[in-house]
Amino acid sequence: MSAVLIGLHLERLGLSAGGIGLILTIALLSAAVTGLAAANLSSRIGRRYTLALAGILMAVTGADLAVASSPVLIGIAAITGMLGTASIDLGAYASVEQASLAESAEPRRRNLAFARYSLTGGLATAAGAALAATATDLPRGRLLFGGYALVGAVTATLALLLSARAEGPVSSASLSAAQVRVLAPLSALFAVDAVGGGLVANAVIAYWLHVRFGASAAALGSTFTAIALLQSASYEVSGRLANRIGLIRTMVFTHVPSNVLLALVPLSPTLPWAIAILFARFSLSQMDVPARQAYVVSIVQPAERAGAVAFTGLVRGLAQAAGPLISGAAIQGAVLGLPFYLAGGLKLAYDGTLYLAFRNRRGEHETVG
Give CA–CA dist 349/344, Å, rounded.
9
Please answer whether residues 220 and 210 qualify as being in contact, where contact means their C-beta atoms are separated by less than 8 angstroms.
Answer: yes
Please answer whether residues 210 and 8 qualify as being in contact, where contact means their C-beta atoms are separated by less than 8 angstroms.
Answer: yes
Q: At 89, which helix (H) or strand (E)?
A: none
Mind listing the domains of the chain with CATH numbers?
A: 2-358 (1.20.1250.20)
Report pLDDT for 352.
Answer: 95
Report pLDDT for 334.
Answer: 66
Give CA–CA dist 38/34, Å, rounded.
6
Would you state the torsion angle of the CA atoms of residues 99, 105, 106, 111, taken in this order, to the nearest 10 degrees?
-80
Give CA–CA dist 30/273, Å, rounded.
34
What φ, ψ does residue 197 adopt, rounded to 5°? -65, -40
Please answer whether residues 189 and 347 qualify as being in contact, where contact means their C-beta atoms are separated by less than 8 angstroms.
Answer: no
Give CA–CA dist 36/81, Å, rounded.
11
Give CA–CA dist 167/263, Å, rounded.
43
Angle at 36 between CA 114 and CA 163, to 5 degrees: 50
Q: How far is CA 145 from the centre of its chain?
A: 19
At position 346, the amino acid (one-letter code) is L
Q: What is the pLDDT along the chain (369 residues), one digit of tens a residue?
A: 888 888 889 989 988 888 888 888 888 788 878 888 888 888 888 899 999 999 999 999 999 999 988 888 888 888 988 887 665 666 788 888 888 888 788 888 888 888 898 888 888 888 888 888 888 899 999 999 999 999 999 999 999 998 887 886 554 545 677 777 778 899 999 999 988 888 888 888 888 999 899 998 889 989 988 998 998 889 889 989 999 999 999 999 999 999 999 999 999 999 999 999 999 999 999 899 899 988 988 888 877 777 787 788 778 878 877 777 787 777 776 677 888 999 999 999 999 999 999 998 888 778 665
Give CA–CA dist 274/279, Å, rounded.
9
Which residues are CB-neighbours of 356 under 8 A, at least 6 positions away? none
pTM of the model: 0.76
Residue 206's closest CA among 217, 193, 194? Answer: 217
Specify whether the backbone of 173 is left (phi greater than 0), alpha (psi in -120 to 50) or beta: beta
Please tell me what DSSP assigns to residue 333: T
Please tell me what DSSP assigns to residue 80: T
At position 286, the amino acid (one-letter code) is Q
Per 3-state DSSP, the chain is made up of helix, strand and coil in percentages (nearest 5) of 80, 0, 20
Q: Encode 256-268 in three state secondary structure.
A: HHHHHHHHHHHHC
Report pLDDT for 366.
Answer: 80
Give CA–CA dist 33/101, Å, rounded.
21
Report pLDDT for 130.
Answer: 87
Specify whether the backbone of 176 is left (phi greater than 0), alpha (psi in -120 to 50) or beta: beta
